[in-house]
Structure 1
Amino acid sequence: MSNTKNDDISVKDYTFCGHTLTITMFKRAALGLSAYVWGPAVVLCQYFHDEKIDFTGKKVLELGSGTGIVGILAVLLGGHVTITDVPETLKQIEYNVNANIPVTSKHRSKVRALLWGTDHLNFPSDFDFILGSDVVYSPMHFPGLLATILHCCNENTTIFISTNMTARMGSENFHKELIPKQFKSELVRTSGMICIYKMNKKPTRY
């Protein structure tokens, strides 16, 4: 892992699944927390590496992408990936997509704005996977996040959420109280205080 940084940008290399990703973080672009690669993203990528996750031919949605690292890796692992975040973060994601995804695979990536609970209805409900790293960080965003996940998934969708359980407000309540009401949830990896949950929507009862 190598680093380059100045006051405006920071560049770091990460290697997973035989791919080296060069991630640029635009720290002076008023992106706030979105301008960083946080631990939950690294742990989720390492999980894909360790478990030899294959997204080939699968339709994938990444929520709250930030730098794009998780979604980019999913593209390199064969997925057709829609990488999303708030509008002001998209240029950073697009920069990293262009820097890391070969031209021959670029058609399998899309970068789109997605405001949780606001414009999620503009997205389909047939994703094979939904990915989120460090998206559980504030109770005020939980209703929109849950509405978005529920709309974009179906009973066959596999959802991976990676969360720093001690550093993010309300994370215990989200994963242990809110999620079990509508999802089957399994803790599949812990790394320090970071937990990865694998989730599936519960069958609809009529």
Structure 2
Amino acid sequence: MALVPYVENAVPILSKFHNSSAQFRFANHDISLTQDWKSLGVAAVVWDAAVVMCMYLEMGKVELKKTKAIELGAGTGLVGIVAALMGAEVTITDRQPALEFLAANVKANLPPDSQGSTLVSELSWGEGLDRYPPAGFDLVLGADIIYLEDTFVPLLQTLEHLCSDSTVVLLACKIRYKRDTNFLSMLKKTFAVEEVHYDKQRDIHVYKAWKLSQRKDL
């Protein structure tokens, strides 16, 4: 079932989401992603936050080679795919209904030498976290995952579980509602948070977060 109601061409600005594919070029690779708004809704289209996150990764301000990374709420998988192409060992996660779709996009866009260090895995925030190593990742990535208030507490629980004192969290999002800033306030109770990039054209913010025990220069 779609996560949001599907209405064919209801809003002209959303027409790009009804396309069956979306093309990009990142990390010197052409990437072609299948989209399926009708079946999977928001989980199966490429949102601007994912594009801006990939642009930020290409700026080289975050070390990716041989970095153990995990993407939360991956959707089409664009961010995780780009991180893998740039040398990271990536676990690309989403909820069970989106996994088959996500895995197909990952397989279609990663060369064999990158697929061996990439895992597509189910992760519903706050659930079954023991399947993931505590404090086991160097980098946590999330693009446009801050929008449902009911998910804020389990998302924070998930971040707490995945992050060590040296983990960097990158979140790309559009600030649409007061609840979005409320999440950032909740995050700041246990993480230091700073805005590291803003794409004015797309109105997307990129935030960097790290546990409060960390040094700011990590």
- What is the TM-score when the length of structure 2 is the normalising length? 0.85
Distance 1:9 1:27 in 2: 9
Residue 63 (structure 1) aligns with: 72
| Contact 1:17–1:52 (8 Å) recurs in 2 | no
CA offset at residue 105 of structure 1?
1.6
SS at match of 2:59: helix
1:112-191 equivalence runs, <5 A: 112-124=121-133, 125-166=135-176, 170-175=179-184, 177-191=185-199
| Contact 1:61–1:127 (8 Å) recurs in 2 | yes
Residue 81 (structure 2) aligns with: 72
SS at match of 2:103: helix
- What is the TM-score when the length of structure 1 is the normalising length? 0.89
- 1:39-84: per-residue Cα shift (whole Å, max 9, x none)? 1101100111123644111100100000000001111011110000
Distance 2:106 2:89 in 1: 13
Distance 1:11 1:54 in 2: 29
| Contact 2:147–2:180 (8 Å) recurs in 1 | yes
Distance 1:169 1:114 in 2: 26
CA offset at residue 169 of structure 1?
6.0
CA offset at residue 23 of structure 1?
0.9
Residue 108 (structure 1) aligns with: 117
AA aligned to 1:154 is S
CA offset at residue 131 of structure 1?
0.2
Distance 1:180 1:21 in 2: 35
- From the superposition, tell whether residues 83 and 7 of structure 1 become closer, same or farther in structure 2 (CA, over 3 Å): closer
Residue 200 (structure 1) aligns with: 210
AA aligned to 2:44 is A
AA aligned to 2:194 is E
| Contact 1:54–1:78 (8 Å) recurs in 2 | no
- 1:11-51: per-residue Cα shift (whole Å, max 9, x none)? 1111123222111112333x111111001101100111123
Distance 2:27 2:95 in 1: 28
For the aligned residues, what is the CA RMSD?
2.0
**Percentage of identical aligned residues:** 35
Distance 1:147 1:81 in 2: 20
Distance 2:16 2:190 in 1: 45
| Contact 2:22–2:46 (8 Å) recurs in 1 | no
Segments of 5+ residues of structure 1 without an aligned counterpart are none
Aligned length: 197
AA aligned to 2:121 is R
CA offset at residue 121 of structure 1?
2.5
Distance 2:178 2:24 in 1: 28
AA aligned to 2:126 is G
